[in-house]
């Protein structure tokens, strides 16, 4: 967000609409008759799965949508939300499984409504997105094929977004955005959420290494627009059979462009590796398969590759620290906020224990095996 990007104010401003209120908004703002509605898990916005009663003359239109109600801080940046909507539509036109945006009754992509969302009268931006099919990657046993596919997806996204143009594209230059990977040092102001603990010591260590090893290299990285949040709950997959009868997966949905910002190619692959490690039974081997997929589209330079280990550690710290901070503000959303933390601290500690050299050796050797046609 362009308004300081402070997740504290965002967390405080998460909408708390009831099912009845949300249903009424769909009908009044988008002119659609709701047959069923239920809440979906979310970080700092509010999402609802909406089923529509379809009329005979709209048989070709979707009957399932996601009503996305942006938090009050995000809602102050309509130009940013607009760019996100146009990106989703641009990628869909380019063949990616992203959501279409259903216009309001007045023909707009979003609508700002001033209502009582449970915490006083405030402004909330509403959008209605097509519901995408599939199962989150988090619920699928990871395989080299799936990890490669996800890495390739990340590369194709960044490559395709280089062709995206919009008059308000500069809104994605979110300098103090806490989720932009270059802003790992900004985590220092949230460290109190960890108390005086071993976890805090680990984060302090990573922040210092990040300052020393990454900030000095930024000028050597190739810039691009990042999705910025290709986590295992934002990528949906569906099974299909391979020629050998094995179950293989293809990506059926890409969700949540709310963390988009200008970054670097190497940021996207580092973020993707980190999230794919969370549920993996062989977390240290994940990176090589994801990297191979990404590099099949965009090969990294030597300086970008040399930053990968510390960037993955930095993203672990961002996810874990911000989740702990948000839990203090929103304890009722703890189960969702702490998804990564269940195994995240263990994964980060394991990376640091094994060390950069050994982890890189695993990643780069695995990635290299794809060049010879033998994936590890």
Q: Which residues are catalytic?
A: 229
Quick check: 46 and 38 in contact, CB under 8 A? no
**Category of 228 on φ-ψ map: left (φ > 0), alpha (ψ -120 to 50) or beta:** left
Task: Write the DSSP string, 55-101.
Answer: -GGGTTS-SEEEEEE--TTGGG-HHHHHHHHHHHHHHHHTT-----E
Fill in the DSSP letter of residue 263: E
Alpha-carbon distance values, 251 to 127, 282, 325 (Å): 23, 22, 32
Q: Return the sign of the alpha-carbon dihedral for residues 278, 283, 287, 289.
A: negative
Tokens 């990628």 correspond to what residue? 91
Q: Which CA distances in Å does 356 have to 75, 163, 218, 351?
A: 41, 35, 19, 7
Quick check: helix, strand or coil at residue 326?
helix
Could you tell me which of 374, 154, 160, 142 has the C-alpha nearest to residue 249?
A: 142
Strand, coil or helix: what is 148? helix
Cross-strand bridge partners of residue 66: 49, 129
């Amino acid at each position: 967000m362009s308004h300081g990007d402070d997740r504290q104010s965002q967390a405080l401003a998460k909408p708390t609409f009831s099912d009845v209120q949300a249903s009424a908004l769909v009908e009044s703002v988008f002119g659609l008759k709701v047959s069923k509605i239920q809440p979906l898990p979310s970080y700092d916005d509010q999402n609802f799965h909406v089923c529509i009663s379809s009329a005979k003359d709209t048989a070709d239109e979707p009957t399932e949508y996601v009503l996305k109600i942006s938090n009050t801080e995000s809602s102050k940046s309509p130009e940013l939300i607009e760019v996100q909507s146009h990106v989703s539509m641009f990628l869909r036109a380019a063949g990616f499984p992203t959501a279409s945006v259903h216009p309001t009754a007045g023909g707009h992509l979003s609508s700002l409504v001033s209502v009582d969302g449970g915490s006083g009268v405030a402004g909330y931006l509403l959008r209605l997105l097509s519901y995408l099919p599939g199962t989150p990657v988090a619920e699928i046993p990871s395989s080299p094929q799936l990890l490669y596919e996800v890495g390739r997806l990340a590369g194709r996204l960044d490559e395709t977004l280089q062709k995206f143009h919009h008059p308000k594209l500069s809104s994605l230059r979110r300098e103090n955005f806490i989720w932009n990977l270059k802003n790992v040092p900004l985590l220092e102001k949230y460290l109190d959420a960890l108390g005086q603990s071993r976890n805090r010591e680990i984060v302090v260590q990573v922040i210092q290494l990040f300052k020393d090893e990454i900030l000095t290299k930024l000028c050597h990285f190739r810039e691009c627009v990042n999705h910025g949040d290709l986590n295992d709950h934002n990528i949906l997959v569906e099974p299909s059979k391979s020629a050998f009868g094995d179950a293989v997966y293809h990506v059926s949905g890409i969700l949540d462009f709310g963390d988009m910002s200008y970054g670097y190619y190497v940021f996207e692959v580092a973020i993707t590796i980190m999230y794919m490690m969370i549920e993996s039974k062989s977390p240290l081997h994940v990176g090589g398969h994801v990297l191979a997929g990404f590099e099949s589209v965009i090969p990294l330079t030597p300086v970008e590759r040399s930053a990968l280990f510390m960037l993955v550690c930095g993203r672990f710290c961002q996810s874990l620290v911000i989740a702990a901070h948000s839990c203090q503000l929103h304890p009722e959303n703890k189960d969702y906020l702490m998804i990564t933390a269940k195994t995240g601290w263990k994964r980060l500690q394991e990376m640091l224990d094994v060390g950069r050299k050994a982890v890189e050796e695993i990643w780069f050797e695995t990635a290299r095996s794809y060049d010879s046609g033998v994936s590890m």
